[in-house]
Amino acid sequence: MKQLENKVAIITGAGSGIGKSTALLFATEGAKVIVSDINETHGDAVVKEIISKGGEAVFVKADSSKPEDNETLVKKAIEAFGSVDIAVNNAGIGGPLGVTGEYPLDGWQKVIDINLSGVFYGLRYQLPAMINKGGSIINIASILGNTGTRFSPAYVAAKHGVVGLTKAAALEYADKKIRINAVGPGYIKTPLVEKSLDKNALDALVNLHPIGRLGEAEEIAELILWLASSKSSFVTGAYYPADGGYLAQ
């Protein structure tokens, strides 16, 4: 039997990167997937790929920073497949770079709205949909949810917030058969990273990871799958780095 047979999963930011890899893996493991993204073209492409391989998926365009879009995602999942069993709150942005004393106010607000408030809004509507039967929610934080870095105060603050929010919610719902965990990816090799950095910058990034390379989105998806499945049935309120040794230094 497949690990997520007949489970219904919402994945935000599923049009590319970690979200896309997770959507494809979940579908392979039997989940019915709500593919959500702000980019309709990318989201539709993921759905078509899932269906072409015999899986089930629908695309719902959504902006995770809007409460009403998160509410709609849950409603659409129930309309399409009858329930919500799993949610992966993955959508996020890097935001502008700058020292804290000069950081753009609009940049701060946008990063917080998407990376932190977006996770809260997801939980706000996903949890009531799971309350009678249980479920698993995975919030995608970052290694920067556990440590700091220069020039990204909004991102660091938001990801620390995601880890704290995950723990608080996990305690509230532990006796209701809803498990809530966070994943902290290191730097992952995505098209965005490869296109935005030159070779020297990429090499410097690689050198931050003792394992000697960047992570692959598929590797993070495997951890998310474990947390979504019954194999992690005694795990809740946890923060799991997947970072090639970055935080061990």
pLDDT tens for residues 111-146? Answer: 999 999 999 999 999 999 999 899 999 999 999 999
pLDDT at 172 (0 to 100): 98
Contact (Cβ atoms closer than 8 angstroms) between residue 12 and residue 237: no
Model pTM above 0.85? yes
pLDDT at residue 73 in the model: 98
Distance of CA 99 to the CA centre of its chain: 26
**Beta strands, E only, the chain:** 8-11, 32-37, 56-61, 86-89, 135-140, 178-185, 188-189, 215-216, 239-242
Q: For 72-92, how does the pLDDT look when each residue is reduced to its tens digit (9 = 90+)?
A: 999 999 999 999 999 999 999
Position 199 scores a pLDDT of 87
pLDDT at 21 over 90: yes
Average pLDDT in the chain: 96
Report the SS3 class of residue 57. Answer: strand
In this prediction, residue 211 carries a pLDDT of 97
Question: How far, CA to CA in Å, does 92 sit from each of 51, 205, 221?
Answer: 26, 20, 16
Residues forming the active site: 155
Identify residue 13 by its one-letter amino acid code: G
User: Which of 173, 195, 181, 211 has the alpha carbon at shortest distance from 89?
Assistant: 181
Q: pLDDT exceeding 90 applies to what percent of the chain? A: 94
**What pLDDT is recorded for position 54?**
97
Distance CA 100, CA 123 (A): 29
CB 156 within 8 A of CB 149: yes
Q: How many CB atoms lie within 10 A of CB 223?
A: 20
In this structure, of 22-36, 157-171, 185-199, 229-243, the range with the lowest mean pLDDT score is: 185-199
Residue 233 structure tokens: 């049935």
pLDDT given for residue 185 in this prediction: 97
